[in-house]
Amino acid sequence: MKLFKKEIEYTVPQIIILSLTGLLLGFLLINQSRYFTTYEITLGRDSSENIFRKIQMLKTSNDDLAEEITNLEAQLAEASNQALALENINKDIQKNKIIAGEIAVFGPGIEINIETQLSNIWFTDLVNELFSAGAEAVSINNLRLTDATVGFDTLPNGQIMINNVILTTPYTFTAIGEKTNLKQIMEATGGIIERLKSTYPDFKYTILEKDRIEMAKI
């Protein structure tokens, strides 16, 4: 069987209409393409601007946060310095109260027992040596020495008196502080004990390290 293709014949008006339709479709396609291109450009620009704004906001937030952290660190440092200053002031107050004998104290230390009768100058030297060695508090025969303590006086019979109290042998010096260090300094070469031995041939003494020594307030 043979198929025959029928040729379509168009009239002039039909050709004109088809041509105009093709031109119109082409125009519409071109405009649509331009629209999408413009939309993409606009969308991309807006997105970039939004991202830029977000980056700027984030940077601003980070800068503000860094500044806040710096301020807080400065406040913390100032508070720490104030706390340290207050702590040092409190320590000084406590130290002054101890020196004045206003509070009872206790702690490790040493006890020096001397059986030899001494002149008043040696009492002064012994006390100064103990405080120089780091003693926080010192007493003699249970009499606590403070900043109000007057000097050692010698009575006509050779006895030593302090704060209207006569001291008799054995003399017991107690000192609160680092016990090992105090003992070593007292017995060091050229120290107070060695000088006493040179001055008094019959000098007798003992030094005991104590874990706890108590001194009542005045």
Does 112 fall in a domain? yes
168: nearest Cα among 117, 111, 110, 113: 117
Q: What's the farthest any 2 CA atoms get from each other in the chain?
A: 166
Asked if 109 and 210 sit in the same domain, the reply is yes
Does 87 fall in a domain? yes
Q: Which residues, 6+ apart, have CB-to-CB distance to 117 below 8 Å?
A: 158, 169
Asked if 134 and 49 sit in the same domain, the reply is no
Do 116 and 212 meet the contact criterion of CB atoms below 8 Å apart?
no
> 114 has which bridge partners?
171, 205
Asked if 64 and 159 sit in the same domain, the reply is no
Averaged pLDDT, 139-147: 91
Give the per-residue pLDDT at 146.
86
Sequence length of the chain is: 218
Last residue of a domain, one of 100, 116, 136: 100
Last residue of a domain, one of 100, 120, 150: 100
pLDDT in tens, 107-119: 999 999 999 999 9
Give the structural domain span for 204: 105-215
**107 vs 154 pLDDT, higher one:** 107
Phi, psi (rounded to 5 degrees) for 206: -140, 145
Please tell me the least confidently modeled range out of 27-31, 78-82, 177-181.
27-31
Give the per-residue pLDDT at 68.
73
pLDDT in tens, 52-109: 555 565 556 666 667 777 777 777 778 778 777 778 777 777 777 777 788 899 999 9
109: nearest Cα among 100, 117, 119, 98: 98
Q: Is the pLDDT of residue 155 over 60?
A: yes
Q: Give the CATH number of the domain where residue 200 resides.
A: 3.30.70.1880
Asked if 89 and 112 sit in the same domain, the reply is no
Asked if 109 and 211 sit in the same domain, the reply is yes
Total count of domains within the chain: 2
Does 142 fall in a domain? yes
d(CA 115, CA 118): 9
Asked if 92 and 110 sit in the same domain, the reply is no
Strands 153-154 and 105-114: unpaired
Asked if 61 and 156 sit in the same domain, the reply is no
Does 1 fall in a domain? no
Q: Is the pLDDT of residue 36 over 60?
A: no
Last residue of a domain, one of 45, 71, 100: 100
Asked if 196 and 112 sit in the same domain, the reply is yes
Indicate the angle between helix axes 120-132 and 192-199, nearest 10 degrees: 160
Does 6 fall in a domain? no
